[in-house]
Amino acid sequence: MEEVKNKLKEFFMSDLGVDGSVLNFDTALFGDEIGLDSVDSLEIISFVDDTFGVSMTGVDKENFQSIDTIAAFIEKNKA
């Protein structure tokens, strides 16, 4: 689980330009500080599919709230 979270954090920093120093596993991704939007969610879906083989297309918004919730979704749905 930690490994998944770290991979996600690395992705947010390298591909979506997020400052790692303010990004914790429970930080709200779509809140004011990080400010992800719909374009970023397309990138998250694509990354999660490519890296973990888990599809998040059409999944409820609440699963995208933080690194914690995305990692939990991945754990639950891994083949």
Partner 1 sequence: MTPNDCRCVVTGLGVICAVGNNVEETWKNALNSVSGIHKTTSLDTKDCYADLAAEVNCDTLDDIDSPNEKDRASKLCIKAAKEALQDANLGNFNDDQRVSVIIGSCVGGVLSIEEYYQHGKNPSEIAKMPIAAIASQVAETCGAGGIVTNVGNACAAGTISIAIACDLIRAGKADVVIAGGADSFASVPYSGFLSLHALDENGCSPFNRCSGITLGEGAGIVIVESYEHAQKRGAKQYCEVLGAGVTSDAHHITAPREDGLCLTEAMNRAVKNSGIKKSDIGYLNAHGTGTGKNDNAEINAFNNFFAAENPTLSVSSTKVMTGHCLGAAGAIEAVFSIKALTTNTVLPTLGYSAEQSAALKEKVGDMDYVQNAPKSKELNCVMSNNVAFGGTNASIVFSKQPGDVQSQVAKSKKIVVTGIGIVSPVGNSKEAYLEAVKNGAKPESASIHSAVTNDDYKELGIKMAFYRKLDNLGQLQTVSGVRALKDANFTVTEDNANDIGIIVGTSEGGLGSTYDFEELIAEAGNAGGSAFKFPHTVYNAAGGYLSICSGIKGYGVTITTGPVSGLDSIGYSMNVIHDGQEQAMMATGTDENIPVITELAQKLNVAADSVVEPYAGSNGFVVGDGSVSIIMETEDYAKARGAKVYCEILGYGNGRKNVKFGTVEGSGEALDNAINAALKDAGVSAAEIDAVCGFANGQKVVDDIEKAAYARVFGDKLASMPLFQVKEHVGEGRAASATLAAAQAALMLDGEMASENAYFVSADGSVSKKTADASSFKKILVTAFSAGGSYSAVVLGK
Alpha-helix residue ranges (DSSP H) falling in the chain:
2-16, 38-52, 67-77
Residues in touch with partner 1 (CB under 8 A): 15-19, 22, 32-35, 37-40, 42-43, 46
48 residue type, one letter: V
Question: To the nearest whole angstrom, how small is the minimum distance from the Cβ of residue 43 to partner 1?
Answer: 5
CA dihedral for 43, 56, 9, 21, sign (positive or negative): positive
Cβ closer to partner 1: 15 or 75? 15
Return the structure tokens found at 68. Answer: 């914690």
Question: To the nearest whole angstrom, how small is the minimum distance from the Cβ of residue 34 to partner 1?
Answer: 6
Question: To the nearest whole angstrom, how small is the minimum distance from the Cβ of residue 1 to partner 1?
Answer: 26
